[in-house]
Structure 1
């Protein structure tokens, strides 16, 4: 299938795709903040530059795009320039696995949510994050009581 955009138009389109500060990240951030959960966004000092990080609870959250991170439900491989896209998508998947392994090795919790999960059930996403925080908060309190 031939691209229906000119090379210049496609280049402009691809440049407009944001890696940070997406609407979905903003949606999650605003709801966390509304519920009193404080965090940092896109922390450069942490591996993978997580969308949301709460160092106190050793928690990182990623909001993954169905296209760039290969959602089983919505991902469709582009038909043109297949060599480029296969290599690009595989690099993304490999990097995601490495980031997950890194945080697990150092005792952090990694939560990943697909963009469609945020769109379809923001309350469920926030509840999942809240439950992890509450469990970690309780664990810290139990440790202090000893």
Structure 2
């Protein structure tokens, strides 16, 4: 953008400055470092899954990892965007907007969990700060348990 032109946030815009806008647009919604690390560890254990897929086609929400036959949906939540009780720090810039957004995200997460559980899915949620090794072990164990349950139920 030429220096003589000053960027101005449109009325009602979530961006409080051009720099903030660029920063927010650069934040990944999928394929984050924690997600990729957990996926790599789970894949190394021989499990295959869908990435950023809808567990329920009619529900417009995606899980980070989906194990369809076992009905396991895995979410790796960012501490800021999902309101981690340990690491969430309220924003100093435009706090009303961002705090409301995080609150809506948390409400949507609870709603997603409930809808998936009602449909027979196991929902696993991890925070981005949790050890990837622990998360991957929990995912592998949950998928193995669900597969064993399904195998027993079909005999």
When the two structures are superposed, what TM-score results if normalisation uses the length of structure 2?
Answer: 0.83
Q: Report the structure, 1 or 2, having the larger helix content.
A: 1
Kindly tell me the number of residue pairs found equivalent between the two proteins.
137
Corresponding residue number in structure 2 for 1:88: 101
The alignment's C-alpha RMSD in Å is 1.4
What is the deviation of 1:24?
A: 1.3
Map residues 28-43 of structure 1 onto 2, 5 A cutoff.
28-43=38-53
Question: Among 118, 137, 140, which residue is 1:127 paired with?
Answer: 137
Structure 1 segments of 4 or more deviating over 4 A? none
- CA change 1:45–1:131 in 2 (3 A) is closer
| 5+ long unaligned stretches in structure 2 | 1-15
Q: TM-score scaled to structure 1, two decimals? A: 0.88
User: SS of the residue aligned with 2:69?
Assistant: helix
After superposition, the C-alpha distances for 1:49-85 in whole angstroms (9 at most, x for unaligned) are 0000001100000000000001111000012212111
Residue 62 of structure 1: aligned partner: 75
5+ unaligned residues in a row in structure 1: which ranges? 1-5
Whole-angstrom CA distance in 2 between matches of 1:82 and 1:106 = 36
1:25 aligned residue (23, 35, 45): 35
3-state SS in 1 of match to 2:134: helix
